[in-house]
Structure 1
Amino acid sequence: MLTPVDSDSNAAIVIGAGLGGLAAAMRLGAKGYAVTVLDRLDRPGGRGSSVTQDGHRFDLGPTIITVPQVYEKLWAACGRDFHKDVDLRPMDPFYEVRWQDGSTFKARQKTDAMLAEVARLSPHDVKGYLKFLKDSERRYVVGFEGMVAKPMHKLWETIKVLPTFAMLRADQSILGLAKRRVKDPRLRMALSFHPLFIGGDPMHVTSMYALVAHLEKEFGVHYAMGGVQAIADAMVAVIRSQGGQVRQQAEVDEILVADGAARGVRLTSDEVLAAPLVISNADAGHTYRNLLRKAPRKRWTDRKLASRRWSMGLFVWYFGTKGTADMWPDIGHHTITNAPRYEGLLKDIFIKGKLADDMSLYIHRPARTDPSVAPAGDDTFYVLSPVPHLGFDDAVDWTTERDVYKAKVQAELQKYLPGFAERISTEMTLTPADFRDRYLSPNGSGFSIEPRILQSAWFRPHNISEEAKGLFLVGAGTHPGAGVPGVISSAEVLSKLVPDAPHIPEMKVAAE
C-alpha cells in the first residue's frame, strides 16, 4: 500500500545509478531534496561501471572523457571541486586510427599537429580540413553551447533554431559533410566516425555532430584514473555527503501514479517508497513501456516507441593478458581499426541488421596510462565491435553466435596484437543480449534511441514527462542524448525544470 505523501515533501527518488542518475541526485541534493537512488546492479555507474576479475579491472562502458567543464559545473553546483575528487589525465594522441593498407592517423589537440597528419595522408585535403574545422566550430556554438544544457520540451525551442539548422545544412549527414570537404576516403572516415561513440550511423546522423571535432580540439580528450568507475564512486560520495542514499541491488518494478502524478515506486521486492518527485535514469523506452505499464500514456505509447530507430548494439570482449606490458609498443591507449568497407559495414549494422564477417574495432589498452587496471607486467584490454541491435526481424541469436563472432574478432585482432590469444589469463564478453538483460536496454541497443535529427531535441523523450506530473527523465534516452557529457548535461537540464526543495517546518518534522 502506498503511503500518502505531502505535496511539500522534499523526498525525491532517482531510478538508476548510471552517470545521469547520479548527476541528477547531486543536482537535487544541492537543491535541498532528500534523495534516494535505487539501482539493480551491485556497483554504481550503470554502463560506466566496472568489473574486477582475477586482478584486472574492466571498465564496462565509456572510456573517453571529453568536455571536463560539464563535470566541473556539476561539482561546483554542489560546492565542491571536481579535480580534488577525480584525477583526469589528458591524452596525446587522443587515439590512433588504422586502415587495412597500413596507413594511420593520430588525432591530436594542436592544430599544427593535426594539419601534419592530414598532409601526411592526403596533402590536397589540407584546405578542406581547415574548412571542416570551421564547420565544426559553428555547429558547436549552435548545437552544444546553445542547446545541450537547455530544456527542449517545448516545440518552440526547436522551431526557432530551424533557420540556423537550415543554414548549417543540418539535414546533411556528418559523412556527407566530410565528403564535401575532403576527398580521401580515409579522412572522410576519420572526420565522420564520432557519432558511433553515441550509437549513431554517420551516414544518417546530422552534420551537427561535427561539433565533436571542435570539442576535442578545444577541450582535449582525457582518461579518468581508476576509469569512469572512479567518477561514479566520487559522485556517490558527494550524494552521501549531502545526506542522500544510494542503494544497490534494489530494482524498481513500477513507477506508481495516482491522479496523473507520480507518487513513488515499487521495487521487485514489493517494497514501496513514496515521493512526489521521481527521476528515471532507466532507458526512456524501459521507463515508458515497463515502469509505467499500468499508467495511461498520452505520447510515449508502445506503438510510438516501436517506431523509433534505436542505436546499434555492441559486442565487447574484455580480457587480461599475462606478461605483455612491453609487447606491442605501437598499440597505445586508444586504437581504432577499420574494416575494408566503411559505408557497406554501416549499412549492414544500421539498415540491414546483418552481422558481417568484416569489422571495425575499438581497442582500449588502459594500462598504458593507468597501471591499476592490471597486475604488474600484465595488460587489461577492452575490444569493442559495433553490431546490429536485436530489433531486426532476423535478429542475431547471440547464444549461438557469441563464440563464433569472438573467433572472428580474435582473427582480426591478431593483425595488431600478434600472439595475444596465447597470453589471455582471464576474459568475459558482453553482447546486445547482455545489454538487454543487464541494463534493460530496449533491443539491446548500446545507446538508447539513435540520435537522428528527427529523434533529437523536442522529438526525443522529454526531460519533463508528459505522462505524469512529478516524473522527469535523465540519461541517454532523453535530451540531449547519449555520451557521458550528454547524460551529465541531462541532469543540468533537470535542475532548470525542478524548483528548489520546499521548506518543511521544524514542528512538522518533529511530529512525524
Structure 2
Amino acid sequence: MDLTLTHSSGASHSFDNRPHALVIGAGFGGLAAAIRLGAKGYRVTIVEKLDGPGGRGYVYRQDGFTFDAGPTIITAPFIFEELWRLCGKTLSDHVDLRSIDPFYKIRFDDGSVFEATADLEAMRAQIQRFEPNDLNGFDRYMKTSEAIYDEAFTKLVDQPFHQLSTLFKSAPELIRLGGFRTVYGKVSEFFSNEKLRIAFSFHPLLIGGNPFTTTSYYCLIAHLERTHGVHYAMGGTGALVMGMVDLIEGQGNRLIFNTEVDEILIKNARAVGVRTTTGAIIAADLVVSNADIGWTYTRLLRHQPSKTWTDQKIARADYSMSLFVWYFGTDRIYEDCYQHTMVLGPRYKELLNDIFEKKVLADDFSLYLHRPTANDPSLAPEGCDAFYVLAPVPHLGSGVDWQEKAEPFRKKIEQRLEETMLPGLSSAIVTSHMLTPQDFQDRLLSTMGAAFGMEPKLFQSAWFRPHNESSDVRGLYFVGAGTHPGAGLPGVVSSAKVIDHMIPHAAHLPKRAD
C-alpha cells in the first residue's frame, strides 16, 4: 500500500511510477541523499519530525533575528557544488557563499589571540610570536596534514567501508600516517608551545571528538581549511538548506514535515516502507535513515534486531559530548567582535577530561562565539547584532538536570562573555533562546543527547563505525553523523555519496517481490 501524502505545495505523487525512495529526516545527510536519489531516477519522499528542514541545521527566527541552530561554517564547498551539478544547476546561482579570512580567532584565557588564516606567512609570523622554535614544526605539520588529507579525505571520505577488505586495503597507508595516534599526540610531535598545541588540536571538538582520544586522521582539517577556505552563506546556513530543498522539489520530489517515523517496515528481510507515529503507512522500494543511528537501530528497527549493532552494543558505545547553545540578540552592535572566535577557558585537557571521561558539568568552560551579523546584517534588526555561543558539555550520561541547570549555566556564560568579549552584554540582550543536551535527545532523538553521534575514536571510525548499508535488511541505508565518514558538514554530506555508490539507478532496481 502506498499512502499518498502531500507537501505543503499540494503536489501529489499518485501517478508517478518511478521507484520510490523514502528518506527519514531532513538534516543535511537526508537532503543530500534525496538529491542524489532524485538524480538516479527515484521518486523521493523525505519524512521529517520537525516543522521545517535542516535537522541540526534548523533555523530559529525570533523577534526579528535569524539564528542558525547548528553548523555555521562551510569548509568544503565543492561537496555542495557537486549536488547542484547533479541537478544541472550551479550552486553560486542559488546560494551566496563567501569566504572569510582569518577563518577564526582563538582567544586564550590570558587574553592573547591566535588567528587561523590561509596566509602561510601570516601564520609563521604568529608562530614566531608564540614560539620561534616551532616554526620548522609548523612547516612539517602542514605537510603532514596534507598527506593525511590526500589519503583519509580525498581517497576514502566518500567510499563505502562496509566490507572488511576496504579496511585491509587502506590500513597500511593510514598506519604509516599515524592513525593510531591521537590528534593532540600527533600535533605535539611538531609543536612544543602549549598554546600552539591547543590551536592546532582543538578541531575534533567541531565534530564531537576529544583531541586526546580522536584519531589523528582529523589532523587533515588544517590542510582542508587552508586549501578550500572557510565560508559562510549569506542569509545564514539555513539559506544552504533551503537551496537543497529547492533542488529536491525541482526534481519533482517532496518533503513532509511534522511527521515522525515510528518504525521501518520489513518484509522478507527487505525494507518496504515506514509507519509514522500516527499509524500512517508509506510504502517504499528502499529506505534511507538520516535519523540518529542509535535511535534507528533501537527504536525504528525494534522488531528487526541487528546481529551486529545490538541494543547492548549501541548502549556500550562511546558517544560524543553534547552542547549547550545559547542564541541571543543585542540592541547594540559589537564591532570589535569577530565572526568566529574561540573563547578558551583556563583549562584544556582537564576540562575535556571532565566532559568526556568524568562526565561532570565543570565550573569553567571554553566557548565558540559566532557573530554572523559581522558580515551579514540581514540576520538582525537594524542597529542590532545576532550571536550564537556554544559550550561543549557532557552528554546525558552525566545525569545533569538541564531543566534546573540551564539558566544558571547560561548566566555564567553571559558573565564570561561580558568580561572577555562583549562589554555591557547583560543590559544589551533583547532576545534569547537555549538548546541543551535534553533538547538533542527529545527534539532530535539523539542517543544520550550526544550532539554528534558516536565519538570519532579510531575503533569507532571507518569500518568500525555503523556501516552505510544494513547487513541485516536489504534496501536499507544510513546517512548522517552516526555512520561513515562521521560528523561535520563534509562528513555528513559525503555519507550520501557513499550510499550513491551502493544504490543502483532506479531503472536497474530489482523488482520487489511482495
State the TM bucket, normalised to the shorter chain.
Answer: over 0.9
Aligned sequence identity (%): 51
Q: Distance in 2 between matches of 1:355 and 1:27?
A: 41
- Tell me which residue corresponds to 1:428: 433
- Tell me which residue corresponds to 1:73: 82
- Tell me which residue corresponds to 1:338: 344
Confirm or deny: 8 A CA contact 1:9 1:275 kept in the other structure.
no
- Tell me which residue corresponds to 1:474: 479
Write the deviation string for residues 275-334 of structure 1: whole angstroms up to 9, x where unpaired: 120000001111111101111321111011011110001001111100x22x3x331100
1:355-504 to structure 2, matched below 5 A, reads: 355-392=361-398, 395-415=399-419, 416-502=421-507
How far 1:503 moved relative to its partner?
7.0
Q: Distance in 2 between matches of 1:422 and 1:360?
A: 23
Write the deviation string for residues 420-447 of structure 1: whole angstroms up to 9, x where unpaired: 1111001010110011111000000110
How far 1:2 moved relative to its partner?
7.7
Gaps of 5+ in 2: 4-16
Specify the code of the residue in structure 1 equivalent to 2:141. F
Match of 2:131 among 85, 105, 122: 122
Q: Distance in 2 between matches of 1:62 and 1:73?
A: 19
Q: Distance in 2 between matches of 1:238 and 1:424?
A: 37
Write the deviation string for residues 230-272 of structure 1: whole angstroms up to 9, x where unpaired: 1111111111110101111111111001111101000111110
Specify the code of the residue in structure 2 equivalent to 1:236. V
- Tell me which residue corresponds to 2:320: 311
Q: Distance in 2 between matches of 1:56 and 1:132?
A: 41
Confirm or deny: 8 A CA contact 1:262 1:468 kept in the other structure.
yes
1:47-196 to structure 2, matched below 5 A, reads: 47-196=56-205
Confirm or deny: 8 A CA contact 1:9 1:276 kept in the other structure.
no
Q: Distance in 2 between matches of 1:263 and 1:140?
A: 39
TM-score of the superposed pair, with normalisation by structure 2: 0.95
Instruction: Mark the CA change 1:28 to 1:335 in structure 2 (over 3 Å): closer, same or farther.
Output: same
Q: Distance in 1 between matches of 2:122 and 2:286?
A: 50
3-state SS of 2:298 partner:
helix
Q: Distance in 2 between matches of 1:52 and 1:194?
A: 29
Gaps of 5+ in 1: none
Specify the code of the residue in structure 1 equivalent to 2:152. G
Q: Distance in 2 between matches of 1:82 and 1:455?
A: 33
- Tell me which residue corresponds to 2:283: 274
Instruction: Pick which of 395-404 and 479-488 moved more.
Output: 395-404
3-state SS of 1:161 partner:
helix
TM-score of the superposed pair, with normalisation by structure 1: 0.95
Instruction: Mark the CA change 1:331 to 1:298 in structure 2 (over 3 Å): closer, same or farther.
Output: same
Specify the code of the residue in structure 2 equivalent to 1:495. D
Confirm or deny: 8 A CA contact 1:139 1:210 kept in the other structure.
yes
3-state SS of 2:192 partner:
coil
Q: Distance in 2 between matches of 1:227 and 1:45?
A: 12
Give the aligned length. 496
3-state SS of 1:288 partner:
helix
